[in-house]
Structure 1
Amino acid sequence: MIRRHDVTPAQFAALAAGYGGPETIEALARAQLSKHLLLIKFIAEAWVGARAHRDAAVETLTRAQAAAPAEVAELLGSPLVGAWAADCTRRLRGGLRAEIPLDAECNHLSAIAAAAAALAGVEARLEVPSFGGRVAVPGFGLTKLDGAAVATVACGRVTVAGAAQWLAPRTLSATSHGRSIRVTLDDVDPYRGGHHVPPTGRLTSVDGWQAVFAEAWDLLATHAPARADELAAGLRTLIPLQQVDSHSARSATIRDAFGAFGLTMPSRATDLAVTLVHEFQHSKLSGLLDVTRLSDPGATELHFAPWRIDPRPVSGLLQGVYAFLGIADLWRRLLPVVAEAPQEYAVVREQVRWGLTSLEGSGALTEAGRRFTSGMRAVFDDMAADRVPPELVRRAERKLRGTHDAWQRRHQTTDSPARP
């Protein structure tokens, strides 16, 4: 169902304080579903190429929705359906170029319709697109095929004549302290890219991912149960990214894929726990931004962000402050149990101090944006009262001032925007 969405004042305040809770996450997810439905409607109306394919996809999707509305809503609300819908819409509006023929991109709707038909237990026969000799159906995976691909749906199964065996997406799951989570580890979907490094190909094994995921979940469920509850409510997909060098771990969230993010293989449970919190903060804020404007999209002011080397617009600074406030909160909760937590907490808390002070000095925030920033300030002020070893605090301050000075030299500015 497409309808206007918003969050309640209490949900807004909870999000501003860095959390939100499962009910708020579910409200944001419902808004994403409506967004996806609107984009799919636009695609179906604007796609003027292969009309027979479009009409068959729309007809199949309509029958599937009528037969199993909840199951199909889960599919249409999924992150990588959102990523496809956003990319395809941009192409149809002339704002994005790609090597894939536009008709093939639009006809991914047929693959989505095939998945919906299987979930709903209805029969269908659809011509689905082939991406470089590979056919992808959301939830079912990837298969190799030369030539035209016709998907037949019957008895809850999707078959493609002449195709190889499906390479299905894997799952990661964990349970600790009565809290459970299950997510897709997607190394096959054609719309899993868009991060600052490419996604991996098919993983030979996911045993290492599962082991560290279970450890990270135990850490969160034990020491940050409210974070765990949010993740269980809203995190749906992890996308393995290529390790481009041997020293740096990477992760990134794409705004159009709510509840999904990409990451390189984590080496430690603590690292993964921090990454889960970090990236899900971005998903939450992106979901909120789809229903509430927090800054002026036409603003040209740029800011120093302690975690970046490039000047950031106010929207980027807002994302960074929110994500790092969540990281600081997690390190705070891990102070008694993780050896490096005091040092990490001191550094991240100082980064949030600088970013938040700069954000408060911005003239580009809306009234809602100012309220959101005030909510973050209240949380930070409580953190600022925590006793951390003075030498760690001084070291964090020196490091950040050095980073800021280097940033000024790099960008040839003497500005000290809201320097604490």
Structure 2
Amino acid sequence: MTTFHELDTDTFTTLAVGDGGPAAIAELQRAQLSRHLLLIGNLLREWPGAPAERDAIGEVLDRARDADPDRFAEVVGAPLVGSWSGIATRALGQGIADPSDFGQLAGIAAVAAAACGVPADLAVPVRNGVASVPGLGALSAGDAPVRLIADGGRLTTDVGGRRVLLSGDGDVPGLQRVRDLTAPSVRIALDDVDPYRHGHHAPPANRLDDADFEQWDKLFGEAWGLLTRRLPGRAAELAAGLRTLVPLQTDSRAARSATIKYAFGVFGLTLPPSAAEFAVTMVHEFQHSKLSAILDLTPMTDPHDTSRHFAPWRTDPRPLAGLLQGVYAFVGVADSWRGLRLEPEIAEEATRKFAEARINVAEGLRSVEASGSLLPDGVRLVRGLRERTDELLAEPLPDEVVHAAELALGDTLRQWRERNPAAAG
């Protein structure tokens, strides 16, 4: 059974100003688990294969959930399970679902069974010679069939009749494990093998070599140090809700990052240029995850509104819903640069970027407020964002920094009008 979720007044108010905290994040996670289960239920009903296969997977999921609901939630509520369920559901609706899209659920069920201490023995799909072990890694199989076997809390793979223990942290021949970025009191997966990690505006990177992974891990540790020193509330929130990062392929353009709306607690990014940018990017993208999760519970804008708006952080005209997403994310960005001003080595950069981010938020929020297309909970959200934005604008800054930010915004608006004369008119 799934549960109907709604945010109580205090939780909504805290989230509306751009904060949240671990308790609010836990509530959003519970709602996302229900969403995953609803989509899984629909995929089981539409199962294209043998009914016995479908029934076996469904039974394993039910027994795992009954045996240990918390561990079950960790596996089935994982961000990339959300990514898979969204991709598979859309493919089903478009009539292009592949049997392996459904088969991914067998791997999820087997991993959940091992985590919850119940037995399972399920065949999993092999794509291009590789079998996915969700949350754990990718297993080279060649042309051999693969089964995942849970027994006594351990997970074993059977590849063409050869069994290998997957549980534990040791090396397993043919298994590319999902590796963790680590810092004191936090571990976040850097998943470069899951077959459903795509969907960002840039393709995911292929498996990182050890040197590249160590570079990511080092920079993450430095970024996490900045967060815990200067933004402890944000660090606590991220520790509670950010579970996975997906490295994206790089090109000649600047660093990029993106969040998928149906995958709470994961986002894709290229390696940021600095620890400060890494820290701010984590806050920025997790803001998108939070608002997307809130929008799963309650609508904010009139779906019939067709207006387009100027967003200082984009070159294209934005629909109202997209503009609201940007405002919510950049409230977090501005708040982060404000906190990082206390870090001596980057104080000047942080002050400049704080000034730019807060005036951009104010400009975007003004358009949202004037739209006339906010639904009741959208009005409540925007009221909280106005409270936080006014607080950011009240922060004293050097006159020359404020003036430079105003000039930059004016130049951005001019260029946007030149590119988008119809929307500007």
2:169 corresponds to 1:160 = no
Distance, in Å, in 1 between the alignment partners of 2:302 and 2:127 is 38
Residue of structure 1 equivalent to 2:147:
150
Deviation of the 1:140 alpha carbon? 2.2
Give a deviation string over 1:150-197, Cα, whole Å, max 9, x none.
Answer: 33333411303148521110011212xxxx221111111111111111
Aligned pairs for 1:329-348 (under 5 A) are 329-337=335-343, 338=346, 339-348=348-357
Aligned-pair CA distance for 1:396 = 1.4
The DSSP-based 3-state class of the residue aligned with 1:167 is strand
Q: Which moved more, 1:333-342 or 1:273-282?
A: 333-342
Partner of 2:222: 215
Structure 2 counterpart of 1:284, from 290, 293, 296: 290
Q: Percent identity over the alignment?
A: 47
Query: Which residue among 196, 199, 209 is the counterpart of 1:194?
Result: 199
Contact 1:57 1:110 in 2 (8 A): yes
Q: Which moved more, 1:159-168 or 1:368-377?
A: 159-168
Shift of 1:91: 1.9
**Match in the other structure for 1:70:** 70
Corresponding residue of 1:106: 102
Cα distance in 2 for residues equivalent to 1:70 and 1:353:
41
Q: Please say if 1:356 is aligned against 2:362.
A: no
**1:134-149 matched pairs, under 5 angstroms:** 134-147=130-143, 148-149=145-146
User: Deviations 1:268-304 (Å, cap 9, x if unpaired)?
Assistant: 1101001011001011111111111111223211111
Question: For residue 192 of structure 1, what is the amino acid of its counterpart?
Answer: R
**1:217-276: CA deviation from partner (whole Å, max 9, x where unpaired):** 11111111110110011110011111122x511111111110001111123110100101
- Please state whether the residue corresponding to 1:199 is helix, strand or coil: coil
CA deviations 1:3-57 (Å, max 9, x no partner) are 1101111111111111011100100000000111111111101223333321221
Write the deviation string for residues 112-146 of structure 1: whole angstroms up to 9, x where unpaired: 11111221233322111112221001122101223
1:368 to partner: Cα distance: 1.0
Alignment of structure 1 residues 18-417 onto 2, 5 Å:
18-94=18-94, 97=96, 102-147=98-143, 148-155=145-152, 156-162=154-160, 165-175=174-184, 180-205=185-210, 206-245=213-252, 247-337=253-343, 338=346, 339-413=348-422, 415=424
Q: Read off the aligned partner of 1:123 and give its amino acid letter.
A: P
Stretches of structure 2 that go unaligned for 5 or more consecutive residues are 163-172
**Cα displacement string for residues 59-87 of structure 1 (whole angstroms, at most 9, x for unaligned residues):** 22222222222211110100000111111
Distance in 1 (CA, whole Å) between partners of 2:422 and 2:416 is: 8
Question: Under a length normalisation based on structure 1, what TM-score does the superposition of the two structures give?
Answer: 0.93
SS of 1:393's partner is helix
Indicate whether 1:14 and 2:14 are aligned.
yes
> Is residue 197–residue 244 contact of structure 1 (8 Å, CA) maintained in 2?
no
Out of 55-64 and 81-90, give the one that drifted further. Answer: 55-64
Distance across 2 between alignment mates of 1:414 and 1:251 = 26
Counterpart amino acid of residue 393 in structure 2: A
SS in 2 for 1:183: strand
The answer (yes or no) to whether the contact 2:205–2:249 under 8 Å persists in 1 is: yes
Q: Confirm or deny: 8 A CA contact 2:148 2:155 kept in the other structure.
A: no
Paired with 1:140 and 1:278, the residues of 2 have a C-alpha distance of 27
Residue aligned with 1:340, SS: helix
Q: CA deviation at 1:198?
A: 0.9
Contact 1:278 1:323 in 2 (8 A): yes
Length-normalised TM-score, structure 2: 0.92
Amino acid at match of 2:121: R
- Matched AA of 1:65: R
Matched residue SS, 1:107: helix
| Structure 1 residue ranges without an equivalent (≥5) | none
Give the alignment's Cα RMSD to 1 decimal.
1.6
Give SS of 1:254's match: coil
Cα offset, 1:414, TM superposition: 7.2
Q: How many residues align?
A: 407
- Mapped to 1, the partners of 2:278 and 2:381 lie a distance apart of 27
User: Separation in 1 of the partners of 2:128 and 2:319?
Assistant: 37
